[in-house]
Amino acid sequence: MALSTAKQTTVERFMEGLSSVPDKWRKVVDFRNTDTYSLKIAALTGVGDIPTWNGSVGLDSSNSAAIDSTGATTMTYQGYAIQVQIGKYDLKDIPEISSLAAQKLGQAVAEKYRKLAFTQLAGFASDAAGFATADGKALSDNTHTLAAGGTRDNRLAVALSRANLMVAIKQLRQFKNYQSQYTSFADGALLLCVPPELEQTAIEIVHSGFNGGGDDGMQVNAVSLFNVEVVVDPYMTDANDWVLMTADTASSPIKFWERSAPAFSLSEMDLDTRELLMTVDFAVATANGPQPDGFIGASVA
């Protein structure tokens, strides 16, 4: 018999993925938790340009405005569930395994929420079901419709740079709502959403006090005067794509509906297998809303 068979083995245990999940994804979505079978988000027409009136005659059809719907997004929830099984002797041999497993389970749920939200954002150039707006276009498109006819443009095809970010800000400032009125999103807080490959570029553009231009190389960086926050979307599949959007979550065109919040349960012991069972289930849905307001997407070939 070899002497090694009598030696005790010590194993340093760890649980894969025990790291906190950042919740920056909540900044890009309009989060709702309405408890209903399905959720329809309808966009209503506003009041358009106000016509003249001489003050001496009654108002007629030329001075009237009707509130109607410009379209709606109907969201249908999807259920999710998983059960972690821990054997009786695993519990005896590794006393801390139940707490580690519970932590990992919670982080898996948080990461699933983040993945769903950021995957919805990453699909800004798609007109597939769940991504198209009320006019059948992608969230970011050159030909979004207007009530009075004509189109509006919230899509770029240029790489991220300081100059091109200013182009996006200008485009957002000149973007019109469905009633052909200029929106005010560029005046508020903004999010610059990028893939990990563009994180360094985005930070340097947004946070640098000077842009290196001018004769003395010390020209003020105009972008730094705007309230822009960088958000990194690891689920963007194109390393060159980027998005400028409103930081007002209530106005975000990206919708996240939590039909049923995560429900965790613990069965101390399964009668047949003697296993500890940890279970979680929830139901959510993501989609783009009916209107593309407050959003500029750059899809770079």
Tell me the pLDDT tens digit for each residue of 200-236: 999 999 998 877 655 555 788 889 999 999 999 999 9
| CATH architecture designation of domain 24-33+74-298 | Alpha-Beta Complex (3.90)
What is the Cα–Cα distance from 199 to 51, expressed in whole angstroms?
Answer: 47
pLDDT band at 252 (very low <50, low <70, confident <90, very high): very high
pLDDT at 44 over 70: no
Q: What's the pLDDT tens digit per position in 95-147?
A: 888 888 888 999 999 999 999 999 999 999 999 999 999 999 999 999 999 98
3 state SS of 40: strand
pLDDT of residue 153: 96
pLDDT of residue 157: 97
Alpha-carbon distance values, 68 to 41, 50, 177, 231 (Å)? 14, 17, 14, 35
Per-domain boundaries in the chain: 24-33+74-298
- Specify the pTM: 0.85
pLDDT of residue 27: 97
pLDDT band at 272 (very low <50, low <70, confident <90, very high): confident
pLDDT at 181 over 70: yes
pLDDT at 174 over 90: yes
What is the Cα–Cα distance from 1 to 242, expressed in whole angstroms?
Answer: 65
